[in-house]
Structure 1
Amino acid sequence: MGAQWHREWERLRAALLFYTVLPLSVPEGKQLSFDGIALYAPLVGIFLGIGLAALDLMLTAIALGDGLRATLVVTAGLCLTGGLHWDGLMDTADGLAVTDRERCLAVMADSRTGAYGVMAALVVFALKVGAIADLTPPWRWLALVQCGGWSRWGQLCAVCLYPYLKPEGKGKRLGVGVAGFWVWLMAGQGLAVGGLGSLLGFSCALAVGYGLYRRLGGHTGDTYGAIVEVTELLILLGWVLALRLGGGNLVMSLPH
């Protein structure tokens, strides 16, 4: 049992090193394995969401303007991940601009960023800032945590359910068994107390991965990143819409 816990801890540490820029130490001469780290992606996302919510709380405490505060929160999220998922978003947008599937994959593999990639990043960044600025506490903080967890859960679903389209690449090493999908399907319920908030995250996470699968026939490391960013955006916009239509009780039933 002790050896198993140690292996899982090492896998979690590898996931934190892969998905974030946190300065975690690795013993000299020790080689971490990144195989199967997607299993811990939702947990890493929750950690990031809590961190961003804490940052937002601090910026709110000093009465920073909504627009600047939201911009700093989105920028912090980008910096904490080293732009990993944003890079995937831009490459995916460039690829989807091409109708031929093989050409699409070739464009996505190109390290150069095209016009569609830049436009996609700008639009997603701006809409995220606008949505976060529009949300009010405590829903804003809950939404940030939900975004972090559910978006990576959607990535995990794509890893488990759909074929990987490249023989090699970073994404190839993320694979986990279908068991990982079901583990986080159950654990994901802990991301929300209930209500529409949970359904919103679940639906967006599945829909984005499935949509890209239908378009490409599978996934790459780039589309995994796109899933994270697009799912986060859809969840934020969903929160804004739901709160506008019906208030907090429509989104989530908080315990009394």
Structure 2
Amino acid sequence: MLYLFRQLCQRPFARFNAAFLFYTALPLPQWWPVEFEGIAQFAPIVGLGMAGCLWIIWTGLTALGLSSGLVAVIVVAIWLRITGGLHLDGAMDAADGLAVMDPERRLAVMSDSRSGAFGVMAAIVILAGKTVALASLSQAHLWVLLAVCGWSRWGQLAAIVRYPYIKPQGKGAFHRATLTSPWQALPLFLGLFGLGFLPLCLGLSSVKLTFALTIGAGGISLCVGDWFNAKLGGQTGDTYGAIVEWSEVLILVLANVVLAIG
């Protein structure tokens, strides 16, 4: 009985460890157990931890008296370093592929490790968009990062369980092999939905901003995945990364629009 209990507790821990290693460029002790099956279910949790770290870094840099623009540049650079550019690389490859007019050649172009002009332009827009959007937020609204990093990765999970993986081989194929039911995205949806109301309960957010980021962010992450599916007829490892990156940018833009409207 004790052995069974330890196994039941160890498996989620091992999967979280594997998700941490896969979705970030940060190390873990070598003796910690890892199991890569179904790790996409832990991606939103990794994202929330990442958001917390960025929030702390932003607060510390602001306390040093740096301008909001410079702080935003540093935070986005650290953000990119934490992920190891994994998602941004996918967004660049997806942009290069979708720039090809012939649909039958898109997957071949996306598989090319060399970045084309459209991939570079996509990276510039994504990084610039994050930087400007973050610089526009006040210290009191940095909790928005939780919604940004959490919902964008939930959108990736939703795309994995809802759409077929269209490459015979690829770095993201193992996700689809172990996650096949849309119901597997429901627990994280409910968790993020509930967490979205925490800032309101703590007096950190208005009702309008709370509902915009709780409902709007989830809708954005779903629509981005739907768009890539419509263009390609399915998903690839590159589009999984692109869903994360473009969702992050659009959720940050949504937050700024709501705050500007008041």
Give the structure-1-normalised TM-score. 0.91
> In the alignment, does 2:30 pair up with 1:26?
yes
Q: How many residues align?
A: 243
Find the counterpart in structure 1 of residue 132 from structure 2.
130
* Residue ranges of structure 1 left out of the alignment (5+ in a row): 247-256
Find the counterpart in structure 2 of residue 160 from structure 1.
161
C-alpha separation in 1, matches of 2:65 and 2:27: 30
Other structure's SS at 2:172 match: helix
C-alpha separation in 1, matches of 2:49 and 2:127: 21
Other structure's SS at 2:143 match: helix
The counterpart of 2:253, out of the listed 216, 237, 241, is 237
C-alpha separation in 2, matches of 1:149 and 1:187: 10
Q: CA RMSD in A?
A: 1.3
Other structure's SS at 1:34 match: coil
C-alpha separation in 2, matches of 1:5 and 1:162: 30
Q: CA deviation at 1:26?
A: 2.3
Q: CA deviation at 1:25?
A: 1.7
Find the counterpart in structure 1 of residue 43 from structure 2.
41
Aligned amino acid, residue 245 of structure 2: E
C-alpha separation in 2, matches of 1:62 and 1:145: 23
Q: CA deviation at 1:107?
A: 0.4
Q: CA deviation at 1:60?
A: 1.1
Q: CA deviation at 1:2?
A: 2.7
The counterpart of 1:221, out of the listed 232, 237, 249, is 237
Find the counterpart in structure 1 of residue 205 from structure 2.
none
The counterpart of 1:196, out of the listed 190, 212, 216, is 212
Q: CA deviation at 1:66?
A: 1.3
1:184-211 Cα offsets, whole Å, 9 max, x none, are 1211213311422201211111110001
Q: CA deviation at 1:123?
A: 1.1
Question: Is the deviation greater in 172-181 or in 42-51?
Answer: 172-181
> In the alignment, does 2:15 pair up with 1:14?
no
Other structure's SS at 1:73 match: helix
Aligned amino acid, residue 257 of structure 2: L
1:208-250 Cα offsets, whole Å, 9 max, x none, are 000100110000000000000000000000000100002xxxx
* Contact kept in structure 2, 1:20 and 1:82, CA below 8 Å: yes
C-alpha separation in 1, matches of 2:188 and 2:180: 12
Find the counterpart in structure 2 of residue 250 from structure 1.
none
Q: How does 1:133-148 map to 2 (within 5 A)?
A: 133-139=135-141, 141-148=142-149
Aligned amino acid, residue 256 of structure 2: V
Aligned amino acid, residue 63 of structure 2: A
C-alpha separation in 2, matches of 1:200 and 1:54: 25
* Contact kept in structure 1, 2:162 and 2:180, CA below 8 Å: no
Find the counterpart in structure 2 of residue 249 from structure 1.
none
Aligned amino acid, residue 228 of structure 2: L
1:75-132 Cα offsets, whole Å, 9 max, x none, are 1110001000010010001001012222111100000000110011011111111010
Aligned amino acid, residue 167 of structure 2: K
Find the counterpart in structure 2 of residue 212 from structure 1.
228
* Residue ranges of structure 2 left out of the alignment (5+ in a row): 198-209
What is the identity percentage for the equivalent residue pairs of Structure 1 and Structure 2?
Answer: 45
Other structure's SS at 2:157 match: helix
Other structure's SS at 1:74 match: helix
Q: How does 1:64-103 map to 2 (within 5 A)?
A: 64-103=66-105
Q: CA deviation at 1:33?
A: 3.2
Q: How does 1:110-121 map to 2 (within 5 A)?
A: 110-121=112-123
Aligned amino acid, residue 244 of structure 2: V
Question: Is the deviation greater in 102-111 or in 179-188?
Answer: 179-188
Other structure's SS at 2:168 match: coil
Other structure's SS at 1:239 match: helix
